[in-house]
Structure 1
């Protein structure tokens, strides 16, 4: 960006991880020393708006000389654009995004004569062929919260609905999804990563046939899987006849404290990152997904996919991607959600009890922040 024009200069500062980034932003806000822009998960936007940290982007994004055209906006995948909006205004732009995908072990599929699953129900059936040899059909990360949210959506409701804001954590449909996963875990058909945090170790060690993980983990898999380990990727299968995959990653926000000139420069940089050429380039260099449909269709990206076929599944998943409903107090809710999953896994709490507790906690968060 700095080489592409002479008017603005972006100076980047890196933080180690999401948590460190969040702590840095909150500390900078207290000391009134915020940068012009920052990466953040879109779920922090409601809290930032409540605290008066960030400016809506509409005045730059939808108006003025440097706005985005309607064809630009239509070109960005709808799930990315809709999660940038809060209370009818754009407060962020998408940047580093990943999808949940299914990794598969080619040798085990061949050995046990197992085809690529089209549904989660198929995976459950495949488990019978593997049980005697102590192999789980599917591996999850330490927490299966993202797969759980996907299955709940496929069963018929989001964990938290957006309009009006409503918790559905103890609904019949949510419970169906939780029971489906926990039945597989309890029977040994599914395996969680435990202290490993991510399920790739169990997967590359041949302890699970499939692994439901982030497309952002493909680069890591290429680097760390044994050289003779043959694996592939595919979109997550359907459940109850519907497809869904949770999208994750960072957006970019603009802080209110920045001067007018810096805000204009920040928007120029955001728009540059959203361009077809740059989102394709960023995806190829990082393993994240392109934000635009035109970038996915570009000759350059098609060439990249033919050389890196394991990246195809993430792109194929974008059409049915979703993002969690963001609301004030989301980080507290997410901690409660992770605790509920942990209670089911390690404390052997029944799903209906764990989700009843989570429903109460979430209702309190929503009510407190009205």
Structure 2
């Protein structure tokens, strides 16, 4: 009997020990499961997806309240289709990557919410004004900047030296080189399939605008806009400039050594470096000025937050966005992807300056941020942009004059803006 009692006591102690160990080992799992899950839809693939996944992991490891789960939707087109479908089926994520110009449509649809209650203005003071201005709609920050690039001028160092030329500082300077280079079988400049970004910047430098700005009327057909448009249109007509056509990007002709200049996106620099044939040497510079003014278009995407998210998820989504916007993360993102840093303090960062010294082709994009701009977002923007692209196509493919194309486009723009109100 005494031996039986000893066995029972031993068994009870063993059971108690196992229970305590089980409780101790299950505690971390319980803590992890208490995190608020933040779902993030994006359109990044390849090396950019890899870089973003690292930033997500770093955020998750930096705190214990939230867990961000990223979902790549393949590309931006598929992503926007998924957002539209999810809005209808009420299966939206917490946050998603999108073009800031989609914000007015999302606000009208009633499925996005503002970041204002979750981000203080002081936390935005380091961000470049051009990024913040476009993120604001109806006085609220319905979007936060994420991945941004600018248009820059690529130039062939070998051709420039061969012809004994210096880098032109103005669009007129580029235009004047045309006849001299054409006589030697060299095209002055290549554009992508459409030169809408360059034309948008030129018209902005003239004092006009392709798209209506807040409290301003459409003024595409003004004398100033027509004169700016003729800079590119005239070069295309006399064969000193060329568009990419079926190549898609003007970099193809540029890297083949057929053009002295190429105007393209800074986000394509890494791809161009990997595709440059032996014997071709090129660098980048900010786009030239026009009539003493400088302007370059900023492209890219922002992050929006959806109303269907809980308050806790919204706080977590905002915390993640603030993490992406801190100096360290935005510099990492710029170095790994070719996008530009989103904050001004990056310019003063010793590490980033060392990166630029080792990667001189990235300097022009960083130098262009002070005069970069984004078009104002408004209801009907996407229709207006399609109308703009069609007008440019008519001027390019069918040789329609700016004097005919721009007044017709202005009429369309006015109708689009009026019908969207």
- How big is the shift at 1:166? 2.4
TM-score, normalization: structure 2?
Answer: 0.84
- Structure 2, unmatched stretches of 5+, are 1-58
Q: Which moved more, 1:177-186 or 1:265-274?
A: 177-186
The aligned counterpart of 2:342 is: 291
The aligned counterpart of 1:58 is: 116
The aligned counterpart of 1:37 is: 95
SS in 2 for 1:113: coil
In the alignment, the residues of structure 2 paired with residue 195 and residue 167 of structure 1 have an alpha-carbon distance, to the nearest angstrom, of 32
SS in 1 for 2:68: coil
The aligned counterpart of 1:12 is: 70
5 Å matches for 1:242-261? Answer: 242-261=293-312
- How big is the shift at 1:225? 1.1
- Aligned with residue 118 of structure 1, among 169, 187, 191: 169
Residues 154-208 of structure 1: CA deviation (Å, up to 9, x unaligned):
1111212322252222122111111121001001111110011111001011111
Residues 270-317 of structure 1: CA deviation (Å, up to 9, x unaligned):
000010111011111101000011122111111111111100000000
Moved over 6 A (4+): none
- Aligned with residue 358 of structure 2, among 280, 286, 307: 307
**Aligned: 1:269 with 2:320:** yes
Paired residues in the alignment total 363
Residues 30-88 of structure 1: CA deviation (Å, up to 9, x unaligned):
111111111111111111111112101111112xxxxx52xx43321110111111111
CA contact (8 A) 1:112 1:129 kept: no
Larger radius of gyration: 2
The aligned counterpart of 2:104 is: 46
- How big is the shift at 1:17? 2.5
**Aligned: 1:163 with 2:237:** no
**Aligned: 1:241 with 2:299:** no
CA contact (8 A) 1:79 1:322 kept: yes
CA contact (8 A) 1:218 1:287 kept: yes
In the alignment, the residues of structure 2 paired with residue 283 and residue 214 of structure 1 have an alpha-carbon distance, to the nearest angstrom, of 14
- Aligned with residue 140 of structure 2, among 89, 92, 102: 89
- Structure 1, unmatched stretches of 5+, are 63-67
The aligned counterpart of 2:240 is: 189
Q: CA RMSD in A?
A: 1.1
**Aligned: 1:212 with 2:263:** yes
CA contact (8 A) 1:100 1:245 kept: yes
Higher relative contact order (CA 8 A, sep 6+): 1
- Aligned with residue 27 of structure 1, among 66, 79, 85: 85
